[in-house]
Amino acid sequence: MKIRTRITLQFTIIVSVILIVFATSVYFISANHREEEFYSRLEDNALTSVKLLSDVDEVDNNLLKIIDNNSANSLPDERIFIYDAKDKLVYSNPDNARYNIDTILLSEIKNKSEVRYSKDKYDAIGILFKGKRYDYIVVAMANDEYGLNKLNYLGYLLITGVLVTIVLIIGIALFFSKQALNPISGMVSQIDTISISNLNLRINEGNGSDEIAQLAIKFNKMLERLDAAFEMQRSFVSNASHELRTPLTALTGQLEVALMKGDADPWIVLKNLLNEIKQLNKLSNGLLDLAQANLDISEIKIETLRIDEIIGNARAELLKRNKDYKINMDFEHFPEDENWLKVNANEQLLKSAFSNIIENACKYSQDKTAEINLSFNSFNVSIMVADKGIGIPEEDLKKIFDPFYRSGNAKHYSGHGIGLTLTKKIIELHKGKINVGSVYKQGTIVTVAIPHC
């Protein structure tokens, strides 16, 4: 069911129920009031007649009838019957009134002192009157045509009023729900026009302050993030294919030249090819790690490991591959609690992150030396990797974490510009922080802080 229909329906039902309860209450209160008023007048008339009959000796039936008929209080089609204690009719007004009052009713009146009842078109009251000399039973009845007509008219007015109001309410509810939901319908049709090829489109933010405008603002922000993510992915794919193509072109070129010459030294050719393939291998491993680092932490195997061991392994592997590197590792102070050395980590990923940082320090410095220093506080273990190398120009510092970005200083060094992107992702995956400080042509310090156990 559409929200508009639901709002209209709910609003109509609620208001209709309130109206019906109100109208019914008014009707029943009026009906009760009419009845009470009518019976009270009937009772007054009955008592006046029976009192005169009982107490005033001079009054005979005829005089009483004259008094009854001329009373200002007399009711339409009023009949009064007075019986003595032996159920004998002693007074009846009008004379010829035929009305069947049986002995059962008379004895009921005697028992209860007062009985009210309705029969045919009459409302009647029967009262036991204890006079000075005798007891009497007086039954007065009348037809409250005027009161009942008024009540019927009120009922008719209330029913018509309720029905007309319900129709009006349906119209009003439809109108207002349409007005309230119009901006949403507009949003829906605008959203329909947005596809992957035009993620730069934005929807109308209306007055910028109500709930629907807030929704539109949030939606636009989400579009912005999606657009940026798509753009990044697009440029990543094109950069990655470019990086993969470069060594492949070099490989093809070298093979073509060797085949053309015919007399190339196979050892030299193979050595060159091996170098290119190693670069290619490194790049594809980096891309694979990057894909893994983009995963959610819950999808990666996490163990409790000693940070000095992870860095030690990275150092050993680097030294094995690069005989000219010098990597010195030092503790500022050894922690008292051995748990401070432990981190929850994925061994392969964290080793690859430190490998990148340490390799950069050696690769981009003349003395090929990296100084690693470990320190601790109650929350984190901090790893500082310093070199006295070529440094990074200040304006490039904020870009070095972008995928495939290589600063001008690295022109003459091998690399693909994905090492630090990967490293940052891995450190953040481990709830850590990375910071790079550098002075151009003097050296670089990379600091990583990771929460320990």
Name, in order, each residue with C-beta under 8 angstroms of 69's C-beta and a sequence gap of 6 or more. 93
Residue 360 interacts with ligand ADP (CB under 6 A)? yes
Residue 406 interacts with ligand ADP (CB under 6 A)? yes
Residue 243 interacts with ligand ADP (CB under 6 A)? no
Residue 419 interacts with ligand ADP (CB under 6 A)? yes
Residue 352 interacts with ligand ADP (CB under 6 A)? no
Stretch that binds ligand ADP, among 103-111, 130-138, 315-323, 400-408 (CB under 6 A): 400-408
CA–CA distance, 389 with 442 (Å, rounded to integer): 6
For the beta carbon of residue 260, count every other beta carbon within 10 angstroms: 8
Residue 444 interacts with ligand ADP (CB under 6 A)? yes
| Residue 95: both structure tokens together | 């004379």
Judge contact between 137 and 82, C-beta under 8 A.
yes
Residue 400 interacts with ligand ADP (CB under 6 A)? yes
Q: Which of 139, 409, 430, 434 is close enough to bind ligand ADP by CB under 6 A?
A: 409
Residue 417 interacts with ligand ADP (CB under 6 A)? yes
Residue 387 interacts with ligand ADP (CB under 6 A)? yes
Stretch that binds ligand ADP, among 43-51, 194-202, 205-213, 355-363 (CB under 6 A): 355-363
Shortest approach of ligand ADP to residue 294 CB, angstroms?
16
Residue 432 interacts with ligand ADP (CB under 6 A)? no
Please count the residues of the chain: 453
Stretch that binds ligand ADP, among 64-72, 273-281, 297-305, 356-364 (CB under 6 A): 356-364
Give the long-range contacts of residues 428-437, CB within 8 A, separation 24 or more: 429/293, 429/297, 429/300, 429/346, 429/349, 430/343, 430/344, 430/345, 430/346, 430/349, 430/350, 432/380, 436/392, 436/397, 436/400
Residue 247 interacts with ligand ADP (CB under 6 A)? no
Q: Which of 407, 425, 430, 432 is close enough to bind ligand ADP by CB under 6 A?
A: 407
Q: Give phi and psi for 358, each to the nearest 5.
A: -70, -40
Q: 391: phi > 0 → left, psi -120 to 50 → alpha, else beta; which?
A: left
Name, in order, each residue with C-beta under 8 angstroms of 104's C-beta and a sequence gap of 6 or more. none
Q: Calculate the CA 348 to chain-centre distance.
A: 40
Residue 380 interacts with ligand ADP (CB under 6 A)? no
Shortest approach of ligand ADP to residue 443 CB, angstroms?
8
Residue 392 interacts with ligand ADP (CB under 6 A)? yes
Name, in order, each residue with C-beta under 8 angstroms of 309's C-beta and a sequence gap of 6 or more. none
Shortest approach of ligand ADP to residue 332 CB, angstroms?
21
CA–CA distance, 200 with 227 (Å, rounded to integer): 7
Q: Which of 240, 415, 425, 434 is close enough to bind ligand ADP by CB under 6 A?
A: 415
Stretch that binds ligand ADP, among 28-36, 71-79, 163-171, 409-417 (CB under 6 A): 409-417
Name, in order, each residue with C-beta under 8 angstroms of 173's C-beta and a sequence gap of 6 or more. 7, 8, 11, 12
Q: Which residues bind ligand ADP (CB under 6 A)?
A: 356, 360-361, 364, 387, 389-392, 400, 406-407, 409-410, 415-421, 444
